[in-house]
Amino acid sequence: MAAGPPPPLEPSPLPVFPEEGFVEKFLRKTRENPLVPLGCLCTVGVLAYGMICFKKGNTRRSQLMMRARVVAQGVTIAALVGGMVATTVKSR
């Protein structure tokens, strides 16, 4: 029954992935979940407009834009979480 030591295990080759730069990764992630960059742009736009209104002295519009910024950030976070859930469900 004792036939000697077991044969050595051969390591399986690791998968090789192509090198992906910043632009390629950004474009791939944007294609996977296009609502996140759109939400970020919307947030930045509302923030910039709110700051312009603040600089001009239009405090009422400035406060409205700051509230809109919070809403835009919430939508962006919801899109991010939704994209993560969709990716997880798709990978199964």
pTM over 0.85: no
In a domain, 9, yes or no: no
Mean pLDDT of the chain: 90
* pLDDT, tens digit, 9 for 90 and up, residues 56-80: 999 999 999 999 999 999 999 999 9
User: How many Cβ atoms sit within 10 Å of the Cβ of residue 50?
Assistant: 20
Total domains, the chain: 1
H helices present in 33-58, as ranges: 35-56
Write out the residue range of the structural domain in which residue 52 sits: 25-91
In a domain, 78, yes or no: yes
- Name the maximum alpha-carbon separation found in the chain: 92
In a domain, 70, yes or no: yes
CA distance 53 to 45: 12
pLDDT at 3 over 80: no
Residue 13's pLDDT is: 84
